[in-house]
Structure 1
């Protein structure tokens, strides 16, 4: 009741038509849920590549 159930990410991030074996995601986009500055900076390497492993652990 009080929490945002979220919007399915599939409605925002479209899968390319040539990708046919992609599983449906359970990720939901929720209002007000963002990464902190510290976690955002930890998610990327100094070269600018995404390294989400440090953020998830």
Structure 2
């Protein structure tokens, strides 16, 4: 049986925050940065989406 520390050790790119950032970025790009549609697709409010965009420094390229 694995020890708890082995189960919880994940690579940086697989952290929950990084996965969330990548998912939000992907949804925004797919929807041409339409924040209303993206927030609906993500199941969060527009205010929460704006906060996450700011928190994760997500930018349209």
TM-score of the two chains, using structure 2 as the length reference: 0.24
Higher RCO structure, 1 or 2 (CA under 8 Å, sep 6+): 1
Structure having the higher helix fraction is: 2
Structure having the higher strand fraction is: 1
